[in-house]
A and B are shown apart, each in its own frame.
Chain A
Amino acid sequence: MPESALILNPAAMQRALTRIAHEIAERNESGGEVVIVGIQRGGVPLGQRLGGLLAGIWGHAVPTGSLDVSMHRDDLDRRAAPHVQPTVIPFDVTGKTVVLVDDVLFSGRTIRAAMDALNDFGRPRCIQLAVLIDRGHRELPIKADFVGKNVPTAPTERVRVRLAEMGGADEVVIEK
């Protein structure tokens, strides 16, 4: 049984997301040009929550979609094929400010794959990145614009984000 420590409880997670939403609003005065794309799987419910929070701030719905990056990964040669989840982007991304959302930022390779995948849907005006947890150990020059919590980790540790939408207790734990 791996040793695990709680990093965020449900209340702390909600506060972090609320703060991120306000940071996104502060950075993007024109809310009409912002769309949210959550990365499968953990980024999708987080993206939906952020979409709801931003709708509350701006007073209008924020287009929210989901993006699966399995087909764009750089490690398809060295692992069994990943399970492919739905990609649903029912709006045009060209000219928009796309806020990519993921649960944990680690090596940065998922985000690289996400930007490649997003490129096939259009040409955003710009892409910003919101993550709940940044655990360090970047292998590519990629940085989050909005971070819920910075968590220094050892490479062998695992950060688990257990969202209520996916049957979890709405918490973040780190496992040794």
Chain B
Amino acid sequence: MSWHRKHLLDIESLTAEEITLVLDTARAFKAVGERAIKKVPALRGKTVVNLFVEPSTRTRTSFELSEQRLSADIVNFNTEASSLKKGETLKDTARNLEALNIDFIDIRHSASGAPHFLARVLNASVINAGDGAHEHPTQALLDAFTIREKKGRIAGLNVTILGDILYSRVARSDIWALTKMGAKVTLCGPSTLVPRVFEQMGVRVTHDVEEAIRDADIINLLRIQHERQRKAAFPSLGEYTSLFGLNQARLARTKPDALIMHPGPINRGVEIDSAIADCDRSLVLQQVTNGLAVRMAVLFLVNGGKGPQEVAP
């Protein structure tokens, strides 16, 4: 099968075959990154706008570098220095950019659904780089790639996602990707941040961290999303850390081959002990390397073919 979607807006609408195609393609692009010449001409002459209306280090740099390595031309949109500060709407901003005949927009925005909106009003291909608390598709794809690379498969693995699930777009995208690929997903955190309603997504919910990590093959830690919480979800960071933080004692009770993941940025000493973040069971930096390969793969696939327009409802 081939990729026929004009956009990548979410994981929810993808099939397991499509996810596998992205992972297989990413494997080839990872090899490109290990050569002396890390560039291929696949997107030569195409113009990509990086429209990041929310702060980002990893994702933004990763998208920029992946576009450069595909030989595309890049326009970086800096919110602070733009007319968005003068009150120009997102739609007008995007339409003005489109008047420059751009081919792709990678958008990160604090409003859930912003990429889907742009996909309806623009001709360019839209890649969701994170929309509000809704989804972060390329993060989930790189997480899936990392898991598959390390464990040889995703189906049947026990994956525990630990932390602020409620406000996390990474959690939602990960849940979609992992369940579609057959993993057994457990969510864990304070009951204020991990409500039982998530069970409807086909995952197990527990508020007992020991139980959550005991049989895990992969433990994916999430940061407390301060910027998205409207009121404090727990009494103090110290309380969160003592009840849910991954410390040495808890790590000792995990399976010896369980691996640790984190999308970044890490709050050292909060959701994870500083030493654990740097230990050899931590895949954090490999996730970053894999993110580059996955984003190159996504752009390569989305670029191909002008199949039926795929716009999420």
0/1 interface trace, chain A 56-86, chain B, CB 8 Å (1 if under): 0000000000001011100011011111111
- Determine whether the beta carbon of B303 is less than 8 Å from that of A76: yes
Bound-state CA distance A80–B21 (Å) is: 12
Knowing A71-B40, A120-B37, say if A83 contacts B24 (CB, 8 Å): yes
Determine the chain B residues whose CB is within 8 A of the CB of A80 once the complex forms. 2-4, 304-305, 307
> Once the chains bind, are B305 and A85 in contact (CB under 8 Å)?
no
The size class of the interface chain B forms with chain A is: 20 to 34
Selected from B2, B3, B42, the residue in CB contact (under 8 A) with A76 is B42
Point out the residues of chain B lying under 8 angstroms from A18, CB to CB.
Answer: none
Interface check B31, CB cutoff 8 A:
yes
Contact pick for A86, options B21, B31, B36, B41, CB 8 Å:
B31
- Say whether A157 faces chain B, with CB atoms less than 8 Å apart: no
B 3-29 contacts with A by CB, 8 A: 3-4, 21, 24-25, 27-29
With A and B bound together, what is the CA distance between A117 and B35 in angstroms? 12
A128 at the interface (CB under 8 A from B): no
Shortest CB–CB separation between residue A96 and chain B, in angstroms?
16
How many residues on chain A are close to B (CB under 8 Å)?
19
When chains A and B are docked, how far (Å) is the Cα of A122 from the Cα of B307? 37
In the assembled complex, B301 has its CB within 8 A of some CB on chain A: yes
Contacts of A79 in B (CB 8 A): 304-305
**Shortest Cβ distance from residue A80 to the other chain B in the assembled complex, whole angstroms:** 4
Closest CB-CB distance, A66 to chain B, in whole Å?
11
**Bound CA–CA A76/B304 (angstroms):** 6
Chain A positions within 8 Å of B28 at CB level: 68, 70-71, 84-87
Name the CB-closest residue of B to A71: B40
User: How far does the alpha carbon of A70 sit from the alpha carbon of B301 in the complex, in Å?
Assistant: 11
Give the distance in Å from the alpha carbon of A140 to the alpha carbon of B4 in the complex: 29
Give the residues in chain A near B300, CB-CB below 8 Å.
71, 81, 84
Interface residues of B in 288-307 (CB under 8 A from A): 300-301, 303-305, 307
- Interface flag for B94 (CB, 8 Å): no
Q: Contacts A85-B28, A121-B37 known; list 10 others, CB within 8 Å.
A: A70-B28, A72-B40, A79-B304, A80-B307, A81-B2, A83-B24, A83-B25, A84-B24, A86-B27, A121-B35
Show the binding face of B for A, using Cβ within 8 Å: 2-4, 21, 24-25, 27-29, 31-32, 35-37, 39-42, 300-301, 303-305, 307
Q: Which chain A residues have a beta carbon within 8 Å of chain B's beta carbons? A: 68, 70-72, 76-77, 79-87, 116-117, 120-121
Can you name 10 A-B residue pairings with CB atoms under 8 Å?
A71-B32, A71-B300, A80-B305, A80-B307, A81-B301, A82-B304, A83-B21, A84-B24, A86-B31, A120-B40
| Nearest 5 CB-CB pairings of A with B | A81-B304, A80-B305, A80-B2, A71-B40, A84-B28
